Amino acid sequence: MLNIAIFGAPGVGKGTQSALIEKKYNLVHISTGDILREETSKGTELGLKAKAYMDKGQLIPDELIINMLEKKVDENINAEGILYDGFPRTVKQAEALDEMFKKKGLKLDTFLCLSADHDTLVARLLNRAKDSGRSDDADVNVIENRIKVYNEQTLPVADYYRAQGKAVEINGIGEINDIFKLICSVIDNAK
């Protein structure tokens, strides 16, 4: 089973590339943000709890996310592979993912680390707000907070995987298809 994580700041293009990767490699795409938005729209207990954090651009507590993620992995344990998008977002989540893989006899095959400069991220998110209907994309203050939270709490996750030799740096600025080709060569190498 192939396990790939796609990582980077909000607006870096994780969702766009995930859709292409998922199709080409027949992977199950687990986006923690998408799951949380679904839970919120269904009005579940988890969704209602998560909404308060999401509206402010803050991270949902690790325990809630880790349990939710493991449940999704268990549901898809017979898949050809899983693409993790938006997870892990803290070092604690990365450690929990490693633990979970160990328990299930799995491993992370590659950690795709996309990057783009601050102004590009803000411009892309504001542009995405026109179609996404996401209130956290439409408010510059929330966007700035999401980027701040990313720099402070999420970026250390990249170092965690660099130390394991699993991180591959990818420039998130450029033509979607050029970036995708680069990603495919990384995945083909990791398989």
- Residues identified as active-site: 14, 89, 128, 134, 146
Q: Within a 10 A sphere around the Cβ of 33, how many other Cβ atoms?
A: 19
Q: What angle do CA 32, 34, 37 make, to 5 degrees?
A: 110
- Nearer to ligand AMP among residue 99 and residue 178 (C-beta): 99
d(CA 48, CA 37): 10
- Chain residues binding ligand AMP by CB under 6 A are 10, 32-33, 36, 53-54, 57-60, 65, 86-87, 89, 93, 146
d(CA 146, CA 92): 18
Q: How far is the CB of 35 from ligand AMP (least distance, A)?
A: 8
Q: How far is the CB of 86 from ligand AMP (least distance, A)?
A: 3
- Nearer to ligand AMP among residue 137 and residue 179 (C-beta): 137
Burial profile 64-87: b = 16 or more Cβ within 10 angstroms, e = fewer: ebbebbbebbeeeeebebbbbbbb
Task: Give the contacts of 36 (CB within 8 A, at least 6 positions apart).
Answer: 46, 47, 50, 54, 60, 68
Q: How far is the CB of 174 from ligand AMP (least distance, A)?
A: 21
Q: How far is the CB of 34 from ligand AMP (least distance, A)?
A: 6
- Nearer to ligand AMP among residue 42 and residue 191 (C-beta): 42
Question: Cβ-closest residue to ligand AMP?
Answer: 33
Type of residue found at 69: L
- Nearer to ligand AMP among residue 81 and residue 86 (C-beta): 86
